[in-house]
Structure 1
Amino acid sequence: KWLMYSETKKATFCFLCMLFAKKSSTTPSLANPKKGFCDWKHLNPRIPDHENSPEHHKFEMCLKKGGAKCAIDDELQTSISSEKENWRSILKIVVDVVLFWGSTDVIGHPKSRIFLNLLELISNYNSQLASHIASHKKGSTTYFSPTVPNEFINLLGSTVRCEILSTIKQAKYFSMLFDCTPGVAHKEQMCQIIRYVRIAYNDCSVEESFIDFINTSEKTGSGLAAEIEKKLCNDSLNIADCHGQGYDNGANMACKYCGVQARLAQVNELARFVPCTAHSLNLVGVHAASVSVDMVSFF
C-alpha cells in the first residue's frame, strides 16, 4: 500500500516517506522524488528493512492520525486554524453585543447606532476586534451590517426553539394553546404555546413554552384548524400525542360544531378542549353587568 513504482523514473518510491519526511542529504532513495530506488539486486533486503524502520512506522502513524503535525500542508492548516479562531473571537463579540442590544434597544430601528458604538467601545479593550475594524475594507466581510443583529437573533431563536421541541418530543404527550391577535404591522398573528411535563434528574415539572408566532389570514374554524395542524407537522409534533387544547371563547375557536376545538377533536378525540379561564371570567363579568341598568348606562 505504501510502495509505488514510477514508469517514468523506472524506480520505486515510498509514498509515506515522500509525503511526510523532511528532505535532506540523508534522505533514503525510496523517499527521494528525484532518485527513487532502482537497485533491483538488493530489492529484497532493502524493502523489508525500510518497512520496519522507525521513521517509516512514524509516518504510518502520521497517516492514520490524519497527518497531524507533520502533513505537507501543515503550515496551511495552521493558517486556516488561526483564521478560524480569529473569526470565532470576532463573532463571539458580535453575538454578545447583539444579546446586550436586544435588551436595551429596538432591533432594526433606523436611528439606532448602539450596535456599532458598542463594538467600537469593546475594540478599545480587544486587540483582535480593533485590528478587524482597522483592516476592514468596503465590500469585505465584517459582520457589522444592519442586518447582522437580526440574523443572529433568528439563529439563536431557532436553536432555542429546536431545543424546546426536542424536550417536548422526549416528554411525548402535550397540550397546546393558540391565540390570535394583530401585531404592530396590523397583521393577524397566532401565538403557539405548548404545555408538557418535563422529567429531569428524577424531578417532574409542568412546563409551558412559547414556540412561535404564525402569520395567518384565516378567520374560520376550519382554516385555523388547518393552520394549527400544518404547524404541528412542521414542528414534527404528532397531533395524536396532544391531550389538551386551549383557546379563547370565540365562536371560530370554541364552537362545539365547527370551531377549531371541534375539528381537531375529530382528528384526535383525546385532545380535550379547555376554554381560557381569563376570557371566561371576562365574559361572566360582561354578562353579569349587562343585567344591571345602572351598569349599562354607566358605560
Structure 2
Amino acid sequence: MAAAGASGISRGGTRMMKLLKVLGLSMAVMSAMTLAAKAQSVEDIKARGKVLVAMDLGSPPYAFTDANQQPQGSDIETAKLLAADMGVELQIVPTNGQGRIPALLSKKADLVIATFSYTPERAKTVAFSDPYSFTRSVIFAEKGAKISSLDDLVGKKTGVARGTTPDVQLGKLLPKGADIVRYDDDATTIAALASGQIDALGTADNRFLTLEERFPGRFEIKYQVDKYYLGIGLRLGNQDLLDYLNKWVAANMQNGKLPDIYQKWLKQPLPKLPKISEIGG
C-alpha cells in the first residue's frame, strides 16, 4: 500500500510539473504578446513599410474626396508629409468622428490625423502629439436667424457630427429645451442644415469655407463656443513614437511646411500653437 501510494504521489507530481510548465509557457506567450502590442515604435512602422492613419474623409477642408475620388485636404497633406518623412507609404484608414479612438484602440490604425482636438477626457484614453493645427468650435445658422448665444437655441434643433468635440461639448452646454441632433459626419450635418432639417450647426469654424462655396451668402457664424488644438492621436504607452511625432511637428513648424498647409486649405495664417503640456484642462 505504501509503495502504491508513493507511486501515485510520484505520478501526481509529474502531472503537476507538466501543468506548471504549460501554464508558464502560456503566460510567457501572453506576456510577449502584450509587450508587442504596447511596444509599437517608429522602427516597427518603418519595418512594415507603411503607416496606418485613421482619417475622416467626410470633413472638408481637412479631408475629403475630390471629383476623381482622390483624397484631398489639410489633414491629407499633413499625413502625406509625415509618411514621406518617415520613408513609408501612407495607408488611409477611413473613419468618422466617433470611430477615431476605436480605430486606435483596436489597432486598425497607428495614428489618427482627423481634426482630432486635444481634451483632458480624451487624453485619459489616447495620447496626443503637440498641436499641428487649430480650430474654433462655433454655431452656424442662416444669416437672418436671431441667434447670438446658446440660450437662443432653446426650441431649436442644433446638428452635430456624432463623437466630435462639438457633440460632447454642446451636449453639456446647451440649455434645457435646446435639441441636439446627431449625424454620422460633417457632410451629412451640413446637408441637414441646408435642407432645413436643423436650425443650427455646431462644428469647426472653417466649415464656413464649405458652406460659402456651396451656399454663397446664406450662412454665417453666430456664436463662438471655444477654441481647440489639433494633435496627432496615438495609443498610450508608445513614448518612442510620441517623441518622434513631437520632434516632427516642431521641425515642420519651423521650416514652414505645416503653416503652409494650413494657409492653403484654411485660407488664413496658422496662429502660434502651444505645446500639449501647456494646454489647460
TM-score range, shorter chain: under 0.3
- Which protein has the bigger strand share? 2
- Give the structure, 1 or 2, with the largest relative contact order (CA under 8 Å, sep 6 or more): 2
TM-score by length of 1: 0.24
- Which protein has the bigger helix share? 1
Greater Rg by CA: 1
TM-score by length of 2: 0.25
